[in-house]
Amino acid sequence: MKFIKVWISSFVITMTFSTNSYSSIKEEFARILTLSESEKRMMSVNEPYSYENYITFALIASGVIDREIPRYKEIVDKLVFDLNADIESKQVSDGKDTLAEFILGYLHRRLFRQYFANQTKIDEMLWNRRFNCVSSSVLYTAICRNFGINITGLVVPDHVLVQLRMSTTKIDIETTIRYGFDPASKKEVLDHLGKLTGFVYVDQKNYKQRSEISDRQMIALIYSNRYKALNDQKRHAEATRVLYAGW
């Protein structure tokens, strides 16, 4: 219900800046509710997402236009190619937990340079290497899919992290910090998380504060953060469209 109210509020504000002409309002409403071909395809693809779909959908949610998607996808593909070469050269064990931990460290060495609370968009992260919990979690999850590693999203109050799902257990991964693999028993890592992000780690015992989310919901977090940023900038028409696409 909260999101419905926000959407209606945003739309009403948008219409306030429109002409009073009924036909103009109809045209603006239609424009806001028109999805691109890529967005339509994204809505029709079943979960769980493949690596290819995860990356593509994350770029779409970030606002990348259709013709620019291959260019950004090429950057991620090159990152994965180099990662695979590093795995082979260092003879990293093919155990899912060992590999997942190695990938997190690799991304922090190669891409995740600076935590920036509002940096949700994947395309901008690829250029300026700034990241937040959403952008780092989404990219990490997508890349792990390329290696057959089952990573899923996890939402806690005002924060998102991910989990490695094993046959008999689940391992938390805080993607915002380099040593965030299985952080529960690492006090110095949790202290670093708090200093860097201001967030407090919510461990698995506090299950009522933790919600596992689907691939689609992970992608929707990008839309949600973009909506807030656009709305704060009073770009209400754009904000409304982003919220609708992320619905």
**How confident is the model over 97-144, as pLDDT tens digits?**
999 999 999 999 999 999 999 999 999 999 999 999 999 999 999 999
Would you state the pLDDT for residue 187?
A: 86
Q: Between residues 166 and 55, which one has the greater pLDDT?
A: 55
- Judge whether residue 4 has pLDDT over 50: no
Q: Which two three-digit tokens encode residue 136?
A: 């780092």
106 near 86, Cβ under 8 Å? Answer: yes
> CA dihedral defined by 73, 76, 78, 81, rounded to 10 degrees?
-120
- Judge whether residue 13 has pLDDT over 60: no
Residue-averaged pLDDT of the chain: 87
Burial letters for 130-154: b for 16+ Cβ neighbours within 10 Å, e otherwise? Answer: bbbbbbbbbbbbbbbbbbebebbbb
C-alpha pair distances (Å), 113 with each of 105, 107, 110, 128, 193: 12, 9, 8, 8, 15
Q: How confident is the model at residue 23 (pLDDT cuts 50, 70, 90)?
A: low
Would you state the pLDDT for residue 240?
A: 80
Radius of gyration of the chain (CA): 19
Residues ≥6 apart with Cβ < 8 Å to 205: none
Kindly state the average pLDDT of the residues 164-176.
93
Would you state the pLDDT for residue 107?
A: 98
122 near 135, Cβ under 8 Å? Answer: yes
Would you state the pLDDT for residue 239?
A: 82
- Judge whether residue 16 has pLDDT over 60: no
- Judge whether residue 232 has pLDDT over 50: yes
Kindly state the average pLDDT of the residues 76-88.
98
* H or E element, residue 172: strand 170-173
C-alpha pair distances (Å), 94 with each of 101, 108, 215, 216: 11, 20, 24, 28
Between CA 139 and CA 185 the distance in angstroms is 25
Residues ≥6 apart with Cβ < 8 Å to 52: none
- Judge whether residue 190 has pLDDT over 90: no
- Judge whether residue 17 has pLDDT over 60: no
Q: How confident is the model at residue 25 (pLDDT cuts 50, 70, 90)?
A: low
Q: Between residues 22 and 114, which one has the greater pLDDT?
A: 114
